[in-house]
A and B are shown apart, each in its own frame.
Chain A
Amino acid sequence: MGKCCSNTNQPAGIGPVEWFGNMIDNCYEYALRSRSEGKHVVGIMCEYTPRELIMAAGALPVCLCGGSAEMIPFAEKHLPANLCPLIKSTYGYHLQKANPFLEMADMIVAETTCDGKKKMYELMSETRPVYVLELPQKPDDSDAMKHWIAELCKFKTRLEERFGVEITDEKIRKAIQTMNRERYLRRQLAELMKSESPPLRGRELLEFKSIISGIETDFDKYAEAARILKSSANAVDNSGRIRVLMTGVPIVHGAERVLDIIESRGGLVVCMDNCTGLKPILEDVDETSTEPMVALAEKYLHLPCSVMTKNERRLEQLRRLAAQYRPQCIIELIWQACITYDVESYRIRQLAEELGIPYLKIETDYSPSDSARISLRVEALFETINQEPCQEK
């Protein structure tokens, strides 16, 4: 991590970099404390799950996506080897009981985004309380929204029954405000990358996250980070680096290898449109709506995941982001066997051609065995952009 936000006078404790550098421990302590106060923990695995409903039920939404390569061999006892590493890692944690947040979870919300996850949840549900949200996959059909609203209403009822609470519109509205605030704070940080010489690297930006949403101290630290990074005193020169837009699959905590390679070879990831980047925080939920369930359903159904067909929104969003963040190339990350992103990559390549910038697809998993080969491709891509290929040793 850079020193951009670390050397600050902090009367109230540590700086944002140190705070988020300790994110998993912070979340663990927070979850333990919340549980001792009688709160429930609800695990989620997809950005389509509205955290607002979980928060309105008085529970903590915790992201359970696995980013550890070490968990994969355990998962392969049950799951096929040729499957997405995110699914396998998550399932490995489940079998090994190695994710304390999963062990705390009173309910796990699954969703029918990809088939691999959907079927994995079935296996997980043999021993854990899994609730599945059925996500419509033709978002522009007239009945899609109706179906999605109905799914969210069923989910709300399930939460009420399970935790013995009533989820009022007022509670939902309050949760929407909290989540909008979180999205705004994270968006503000991401938007710093629009600068000609952004004050931080993409890898540093990715650290400003939390697997539990709605933690007040996190909010303070996001705001503080933005304040420090916006001040010119902390400016670093990132202007000579090659601006990269990363798209494709989420970069889960612990699985940042490709991003690290890109930035160690002279790149600067100025924009990530994926689920761990801008995708879930670009659009807020209408706080003023008289029908908060409808407002929620709308925001979430708009997410342009590759499971959607057709997924024009992703292309439109990428066009907009390319105009705002001015990347010199697009690098798409595909987790092995992620069929929907892999197939859709053809359209992203076409889009890059339309935008007149080079495109590189990297399909890999969590194991580092192909790092040298990925580096080679990234270096070659940067050489073609720089036109000045001699890299002094």
Chain B
Amino acid sequence: MICAGIDAGSRTIKIVLMDAETKTVITKGLIDQGVEQEKLVLDLYERLFRDNHLNKEDVHRIVATGYGRKIINFAHATITEITCQAVGVHHLLPEAMTIIDIGGQDSKILHLDKDGKIRDFSMNDRCAGGTGHFLEVVAKRLEVSIESLGEMASKSKTPAAISSMCVVFAETEIIGLLATGKKREDIIAGIQRAIAQRVAAMSCHNGGFPIAFTGGVAMISGMDTALQSVLGHNVIVSPYPQMTCALGAAIMASSESVRARL
């Protein structure tokens, strides 16, 4: 009995296929988000079945999550990415009490109790400051690949002070810093610290430890250390940090279909 979790995020689509009885991951996949979201989801979904010689008729339940969850018509149910994230991370890191998730256009902080239930959560408001998109803009402006941001930042001795967290204004600020001869590594280190500060400010006053770090931004080297230095606490980058939300959706689908059969 296969169950699927589909996370239609702002930058990428993630799918996890799971054996419902054993709650083990059969396979997982990821594709860039685009204009024709549902077609992209279907393409990835079918590819996962084809490549792994699985039969779609064995699928019992599909749960969609992510900002595009409501336009995935073949899903049986939708659950918010906040709930799915908590379930996915709790499955991988049951000891985690706080989750910092930084995705393409959102950043969130979730506080869990010891059973993995959400106690409290907060997320960024309208603007994309402090998110993955922000780092993309910075990398493009500084003509470096997003993968090399962490390595470059680690060379910085004097991180630049970045005051604006608006993507548009920060780009202007970067141009100004470059004009004054500031080094790229200092600008990158400054940006990473500014993002970490912004995310840390969303954290609840009595959040627990350890802290798990998820979302595409968790894969960018340097971001975990930037968060650690701002928070003064160790930050654990989750296994498959981009897939945790889809994993949570697959677990929710599995629990529901196992429950339905009992």
- A residues adjacent to B (C-beta < 8 A): 358-359, 363-364, 369-370, 372-373, 376-377, 379-380, 383-384, 387, 389-393
Q: Which single member of A358, A364, A376, A379 contacts B120 (CB below 8 Å)?
A: A358
Known pairs A358-B120, A390-B63, A390-B252; A376 contacts B125 (CB<8 A):
no
Q: List the B side residues contacting A364 at CB < 8 Å.
A: 125
Cβ–Cβ contact B77 & A363, under 8 A: no
CB contacts (< 8 Å) of B73 on chain A: these are 393
Chain B: which residue is nearest A387 at the CB level? B117
* 13 intermolecular pairs with C-beta atoms under 8 Å apart: A358-B119, A363-B125, A364-B125, A376-B123, A380-B83, A383-B82, A384-B83, A387-B117, A389-B79, A389-B80, A390-B63, A391-B77, A391-B78
Contact of B75 among A376, A377, A387, A393 (CB under 8 A): A393
B77 near A376 (CB under 8 angstroms)?
no
| Seed contacts A376-B80, A379-B80, A390-B77; 8 additional CB < 8 Å A-B pairs | A364-B125, A373-B125, A377-B121, A380-B83, A383-B80, A384-B83, A384-B118, A393-B78
Chain A hits for B123, CB < 8 A: 373, 376-377
Residues of A within 8 A of B77 (CB): 390-393
CB distance from B257 to the nearest CB of A (A): 10
Q: Which 10 A-B pairs have the closest CB atoms?
A: A380-B82, A380-B80, A390-B77, A384-B118, A383-B83, A379-B80, A389-B79, A389-B83, A370-B126, A390-B256
CA distance A364 to B121 in the complex (A): 17
A246 to B9, CA, bound (A): 30
CB distance from A266 to the nearest CB of B (A): 12
Determine the chain A residues whose CB is within 8 A of the CB of B76 once the complex forms.
392-393
Q: How far is the CB of A116 from chain B (nearest CB, A)?
A: 19
Binding site secondary structure of chain B: mixed
Complex interface residues of chain B between 64 and 121 (CB less than 8 A to chain A): 67, 73, 75-83, 117-121
Measured in the bound complex, the distance between the Cα atoms of B80 and A21 in whole Å is: 34
Question: Do A380 and B121 touch (CB < 8 A)?
Answer: yes
Task: Give min CB distance, A363 to chain B, whole Å.
Answer: 6
* B125 and A370 contacting across the interface, CB-CB below 8 Å: yes
- Decide: B81 and A383 in contact? CB cutoff 8 A: no
> Nearest residue in A to B122 (C-beta to C-beta)?
A361
A31 CA to B63 CA, complexed, in Å: 55
Measured between beta carbons, the chain A residues less than 8 angstroms from B81 are 376, 380
| Chain A residues whose C-beta falls within 8 Å of the C-beta of B79 in the assembled complex | 383, 389-391
The residue in A363, A380, A383, A393 that gathers the most chain B C-beta atoms within 10 A of its C-beta is: A380
* B67, B76, B82, B117: most-surrounded residue (chain A CB, <10 A): B82
CA of A390 to CA of B125, assembled, Å? 25
A355-B226 Cα distance, complex, nearest whole Å: 36
Docked Cα-Cα span, A372 to B78, in Å, equals: 14
Taking a contact as CB atoms under 8 Å apart, the answer to whether A376 and B117 are in contact is no
Query: Smallest CB-CB separation from A365: which chain B residue?
Result: B126
Enumerate chain B residues within 8 angstroms of A369, measured Cβ to Cβ. 126
| Chain B residues in 8 Å Cβ range of A376 | 67, 80-82, 123
Report B240-262 CB contacts with A as 1/0, cut-off 8 Å: 00000000000010001000000
| Per-position 1/0 for B187-222, Cβ under 8 A of A | 000000000000000000000000000000000000
B126 close to A373 (CB less than 8 A): yes
Q: How far is the CA of A76 from the CA of B252 in the complex (A)?
A: 47
A299 to B107, CA, bound (A): 45
Within 8 Å CB of A363, what residues of B?
A: 125
The answer to whether B83 touches A372, judged by C-beta atoms less than 8 angstroms apart, is no
Q: Which residues of B contact A392 (CB under 8 A)?
A: 76-77
Q: Taking each of B75, B76, B118, B119, which has the highest tally of chain A beta carbons within 10 Å of its own beta carbon?
A: B118
Closest residue on chain A to residue B118 by CB atoms: A384
In the assembled complex, which residues on chain A have CB atoms less than 8 Å from the CB atom of B80?
376, 379-380, 383, 389
From residue B175, how far is it (CB to closest CB) to chain A in Å? 23
Q: What is the bound-complex CA distance between A281 and B79, given in angstroms?
A: 39
